[in-house]
Amino acid sequence: MNKITTLTALLLAPLAALQAAVEPIPAFTTGARILFIGDSITDMNRGRSADPNHILGHGYVFLIAARQGAAFPELQLDFVNRGISGNTVLDLEKRWKQDMIDLKPDMLSVLIGVNDHTKKIPLDQYEQVYDKLIGEARAANPNLKLVLCAPFLKPTGQIDDKMEKRQEIVAKLAKKYGAAHVKLQPVMDEAAKRAPADYWVWDKVHPTYRGHQLMADEWEREVGAFFKADQKVTVK
């Protein structure tokens, strides 16, 4: 092995180690666009310009994009954040064409419901509008990969019945549309056994950076496992 070959091997070793440590997600094919949409938990103070330092915010979306993008640069994945603080499903409905349909994602990840809970959006309306939006997304792209994340609250040991019903609605829609279902409440509940709830969620609904890491880990775990098991649709 000559000096150039040895140097190249040394330079590539960290990347190889990173790739070995990160589980690839089968749905992440070359050039795939992964769109995240939702409320402040997704927004996380994202930039509204093309500045790459801030465009994804500083939450779970950023963590997923950073880890997957660094581990698999050859895929040239395109991560997009369209979370807006304070949004409910009714707000998503108003901007669905511009912020979802027109962006033509290969994978859509939705996390919405905590503001619907605090603003008391009726459960039937929440379900009807959410169902309509996912139906429109699938109609626009029959091959669209879907990820539905269940809303959650601070892990206090007891969750409001109406929030539980919203979580059940998300589970129902995930089953209806063949979507990966990311259940975040159990993750936070389990984490609260290891450290106080404030360590993971600083107010009633917003995760700390530690909570966002838990979210990113669970998202990658569930989405990777779901699409590994379901290879019927190929993202192009």
Q: Does residue 206 have an active-site annotation?
A: yes
Give whole-number Cα distances, 198 to 103, 154, 194, in Å.
Answer: 36, 8, 12
As a whole-number percent, the residues of the chain with pLDDT over 90 amount to 83
Model confidence band, residue 236 (pLDDT cutoffs 50, 70, 90): very low
Give phi and psi for 36, each to the nearest 5.
Answer: -110, 130
With a cut of 70, say whether residue 12 has pLDDT above it. Answer: no
pLDDT band at residue 1 under the 50/70/90 scheme: low
Arithmetic mean of pLDDT, 150-156: 95
CA 28 to CA 20: how far, in whole Å?
Answer: 16
Q: Which two tokens stand for residue 67?
A: 């880890």
Domains of the chain: residue spans and CATH: 25-229 (3.40.50.1110)
* pLDDT, tens digit, 9 for 90 and up, residues 113-126: 999 999 999 999 99
Q: Can 40 be counted among the known catalytic residues?
A: yes
Rg (CA), the chain: 18
In 56-70, which positions are buried (b, 16+ CB within 10 angstroms) versus exposed (e)? bbebbbbbbbebbbe
pLDDT at 7 over 50: no
Question: Which among 39, 40, 116, 117 is annotated as catalytic?
Answer: 40
- H or E, element range at 15: helix 3-21
Listed residue (231, 184, 228, 229) closest to 41, CA to CA: 184
Helices and strands in the chain, H and E counts: 10, 5
> With 60 as the cut, is the pLDDT of residue 20 above it?
no
List residues bridging with 181 in a β-sheet. 148
- Spot the catalytic one: 85, 131, 206, 217: 206
pLDDT tens for each residue of 61-97:
999 999 999 999 999 999 999 999 999 999 999 999 9
Residue tagged 């975040």 (tokens)? 184
Q: Of 160, 206, 155, 184, give the one whose Cα is nearest residue 41.
A: 206
pLDDT, residue 89, reads: 98
- Model confidence pLDDT, tens digit, residues 100-112: 999 999 999 999 9
**Catalytic-labelled residue, pool 102, 124, 161, 203:** 203
pLDDT at 230 over 80: no
For the ranges 50-59, 139-148, 179-188, the lowest mean pLDDT is seen at 50-59
Residue 66 CA to residue 127 CA, distance in Å, equals 32
In the residue annotation, 203 being an active-site residue is answered as yes
Segment 206-220 mean pLDDT: 98
Amino acid code (one letter) for 191: A
What is the b/e burial string over 165-204, where b = at least 16 CB atoms within 10 angstroms of the residue's CB? ebbebbeebbeeeebbbbbbbebbbebbeeeebeebbeee
Q: State residue 112 phi and psi, 5-degree precision.
A: -150, 140
pLDDT tens digits for range 23-65:
999 999 999 999 999 999 999 999 998 888 899 999 999 999 9
Work out the average pLDDT over 213-218: 98
pLDDT of residue 19 exceeding 60, the answer is: no
